[in-house]
A and B are shown apart, each in its own frame.
Chain A
Amino acid sequence: MAEQKTFAISILQDSHTGACWSCGDMRAAHFCDSCGKVQPAAPTDYFSFFGLSKKLHVDTAQLEHDYYALNRKLHPDLYARMSGEEKNWSLEKTSQLNDAYRTLKDPIARTEYLLKLEGMNFEEQSKSATEQARTSGEVKKQAVPPDMLEEVFELNMQLEEARMNKKIGETDESLSRDLEQTKTHLQQKFDGYFEELRGYWDEWDALLDVEQAGHVVDPAQRQSVLNKLIDLLNRRSYIRNLVRDVNEVLEG
């Protein structure tokens, strides 16, 4: 079964091929179709690596199955005593395989990756940017989701008070209770985003279906779905940071 799948992948990727370095036959993506030898790593996106279209709904059980099957053929352990070149190709391809699998199996990482492929920039929300801002003391530009302005304002006041209490060694039981409640509420909101996300995946995948059927998709429509995804990821990471702040105060 694994064999068949690999074959399917090679057909899908036939577009960027040359000849097999070993037997001269036309080259498939990971292995030569005729002699089965591993091929040099070519630049490819993670979806194509698994022979997938850029749809956001991914059958992760199938993905795992393919991941194991490809590992059984690509892994450096199988090339430990082979020529330097083949060994290197195996190493590079397996690292691509691992990178691709790690990204695609995780719903958020997968969505972020697609946005990057589509040329969208959401760097301001990235973790490194957050860390950088925290360390340098700069105020990170991060828009508060409009529907949360009031709640966030109140939360920040409470957090400030709790921090002050901590400094002078006091505890305010009712404040802690309030914060716990807010945290639970935020957590629920955070979890709820996943359902919303799946809704946008549906929209995106539908657009791809239209494209694959040979029709033209209105760029504005496409952009609107991407914007919705970015907006959602931003809100999600905003909430995550709030939860982290509350946790720091409650635990610390």
Chain B
Amino acid sequence: MAERVVGIDLGTTNSLVAFMEGDRPVVIPGDDGSNLLPSVVALDERGNAVIGNAARRSLIETPERAIYSVKRLMGRGVEDIGEELKLFPFRIARDLTAGEVMRIQLGDKTFTPPEISALILRQLKRNAERFFGAPVDQAVITVPAYFNDAQRQATKDAGRIAGLEVLRLVNEPTAASLAYGLDKKKNGIVAVYDLGGGTFDISILKLHDGIFEVISTNGDTHLGGDDIDNLLITIALNDIEGELGLDLRRNGEAVQAIRKAVIDAKIALSSQPSAKIDLQLPEDKRYQREISRELFERLIEPVIQRTVGPCRQALRDAELTPGKIDEVVLVGGSTRIPRVRQLVKELFQREPHSELNPDEVVALGAAVQANILAGGSEATKDMLLLDVTPLSLGIEALGGVVAKIIHRNSTIPASATEHFTTGVEGQTSVAIHVVQGERELAQDCRSLARFDLKGIPPMPAGLPRIEVKFLIDANGILHVSAREQRSGKAAEISVQPSYGLTDEQVENMILESFDYAEQDFAQRQVIEARNEAETILAALEKGRRNPAWSALTSIERDQIAKLENALRTVMNENDHQAIRKAIDALNQGTMRLAELMMDSAVGQALKGKTMETADVGEGPSAPHPFAPAEFKD
């Protein structure tokens, strides 16, 4: 069987893992039975990482040791998260030096955003491994379409740290279109409106005989349900101060309790005309408030109006009018808000689709893409995704202006070749500054990296001709290579990512994560033991249908049933040694059955029957189907 490749939606609020089961993508639940893993990480008293629902409790009880919405920090520098810090309880490590990758304080430890995301990914990996009873090492991970190079790189790093080979980063709205497109393989223009917990994307695609071609994409990587929550929290905090004379802004515990209450109210308002907030506060005070849907819609209007600009731009870039869009698809939990649906309907002049669960559709699409990358199946035959780069790539030219070399909405992989030369005689290196964005000045764009072309042979000024190739791969990540054309020498490039981990740092994190790997290893041993148990139980089933079974005494049969039950019970627990012990016991208990089966097989063979019809199972190479497995412990 081909190795399993899973699809992962690493979301701001929730994360999911899915895979293709036959011709349908399905979400793999966690051990609590839930499909959604809250993207929350906390450290317990002993400093162990807790992920998901368990960590969510810690968010209120020990907020200084918990973090949520870490996706907002991926691939960003300390200097550009000032706004986030006002609204989110992110605790930045105090000992950060300039130019260093940001680290977050959790208890007395610090973590980079990719490391925290890796903890979430590792949990999803574990969930998948428990589900399959087999290791999972390869994944497709989704990212917001509007993520820039640094944010994509950080996501890929997180995968590596979690022990996953990231076969592809797929844009979330595009993934969603794959999930929808699986059913109705029809042609036409589709718009995907994806308003999630922290990010907004709009993508316009052309479907053509199984080819999903993205024509344009736009968005805002800091716009989502979080912003609605923060707005409501601010209003509540102001109310509480005004009405009750209580300033809770610095009380982390109280703010988290308010946050939970307003989120509950927000969710309720999607199905009810009004919702109540009723909160017990410090100093024996109580905050009560009723919010009508009408008021709620008025409050959130400015937030959701911010999605209009990107939608219009995406239409302009695709050179389409709303009337030319055949289908509109809703993705992301925030599209449950009735006012959001209405806005989408107004924008595209048609009723949007939401048949698939907006929380799950991205993960399902990631599973479809994972299946395509793993070699495809009948269901995904002829499906091919052609995505685009969301932002223009440019290099800083004289005077700080940007010379665009790959325009936004270019289908990826895409490349551009540029030529550089020296300005001074004997100059042996040239500095290049690569930026991403639409603005005319480099200072207004996102700095991606500064490259130093070194090892240029000394020549008079202007004579060297250095050819630099910029290539954006299918993940939307930039690669650069250079060659001095006169000497034919490959110029050396030293890359300094503006906001990101170096390869070395990632390697170190993989090593450090061996602290956690112990836990993973234990999990894997349990999985292996369970697999062996399945094998022996299957062999026993076969044995029961063998004539040899009736040759056993009833005491022997009872004993076997007892051992079998013992194994079935212990199998569901997480103790691999106990499982192994039960396997050994059952092996011993079925020794005589195996012998009898062998004898009858030999007897049958002498009568001219084959080994196969004797149903020994494995044939001569495995004379004892219940032979104890060899342990390497």
Binding site for B on A (CB under 8 A): 68, 71-72, 75-77, 80-81, 91-92, 94-96, 98-99, 101-102, 127-128, 131-132, 134-136
Contact = CB atoms under 8 A, between A and B. Distances in A.
A240 B384 CA distance: 37
Contacts of B374: 80-81
B440 A131 contact: yes
Contacts of A128: 397, 401, 403-404
B410 A98 contact: yes
A107 B1 CA distance: 49
A94 B386 CA distance: 11
16 contacts: A72-B384, A75-B384, A76-B473, A76-B474, A77-B168, A80-B373, A95-B414, A98-B411, A99-B415, A101-B411, A128-B403, A131-B401, A132-B401, A134-B440, A135-B400, A135-B440
A237 to B, nearest CB: 16
Given A76-B474, A81-B375, A135-B401, 19 more contacts: A68-B211, A72-B382, A75-B386, A76-B473, A77-B384, A80-B374, A91-B413, A91-B473, A92-B413, A92-B471, A95-B413, A96-B415, A102-B411, A128-B401, A128-B404, A131-B401, A134-B440, A135-B400, A136-B399
Nearest to A68: B211
Contacts of B606: none
B471 A99 contact: no
B441 interface: yes
A98 B211 CA distance: 14
Nearest to B395: A128
Interface size band for B: 35 or more
Given A135-B440, A135-B441, A81 B397 contact: no
B384 A132 contact: no
B208 interface: yes
A81 B5 CA distance: 11
Contacts of B369: 77
Interface string B367-383: 00100111100000010
A71 B386 contact: yes
A141 to B, nearest CB: 16
B415 A95 contact: yes
B401 A77 contact: no
Interface string B479-521: 0000000000000000000000000000000000000000000
Interface in B462-477: 471-474
A134 B399 CA distance: 11
Contacts of B471: 91-92, 95
Interface of B: 167-168, 208-209, 211, 369, 372-375, 382, 384-386, 397-404, 410-416, 440-441, 471-474
A73 B154 CA distance: 30
B401 to A, nearest CB: 5
B440 A76 contact: no
Nearest to A64: B208
Contact of B372 (A68, A77, A91, A98): A77
B63 to A, nearest CB: 41
Contacts of A131: 401-402, 440
A71 B404 contact: no
A127 B403 CA distance: 9
A137 B413 CA distance: 36
A132 B399 contact: yes
Nearest to B369: A77
Shortest Cβ-Cβ A-B pairs, 9 listed: A95-B413, A80-B373, A95-B415, A98-B411, A128-B403, A76-B474, A136-B399, A135-B401, A94-B413
A96 B471 CA distance: 10
Contact of A135 (B386, B399, B411): B399
A132 B440 CA distance: 9
A32 B208 CA distance: 27
Contact of A132 (B167, B211, B397, B411): B397
A71 B473 contact: no
A11 B174 CA distance: 36
A69 to B, nearest CB: 10
A28 to B, nearest CB: 21
A18 B473 CA distance: 27
A71 B211 contact: yes
A98 B374 CA distance: 23
A134 B440 CA distance: 10
Contacts of B372: 77
Given A91-B473, A132-B397, A77 B403 contact: no
A80 B384 contact: no
Nearest to B406: A99
A77 B474 contact: yes
A10 B129 CA distance: 45
B383 to A, nearest CB: 9
A74 B336 CA distance: 39
Contact of A102 (B209, B375, B400, B410): B410
A98 B400 contact: no
Contact of B373 (A77, A91, A96, A135): A77
A250 B473 CA distance: 41
A99 B401 contact: no
Nearest to B394: A128
A15 to B, nearest CB: 22
B593 to A, nearest CB: 43
Contacts of A91: 413, 471, 473-474
**B398, B402, B410, B411: most-surrounded residue (chain A CB, <10 A):** B411
Contacts of A135: 399-401, 440-441
A95 B410 CA distance: 10
B414 A98 contact: yes
A44 B476 CA distance: 24
Given A81-B374, A91-B473, A132-B397, A99 B414 contact: yes
Nearest to A75: B384
Contacts of B415: 92, 95-96, 99
Nearest to B383: A77
Contacts of B411: 98, 101-102
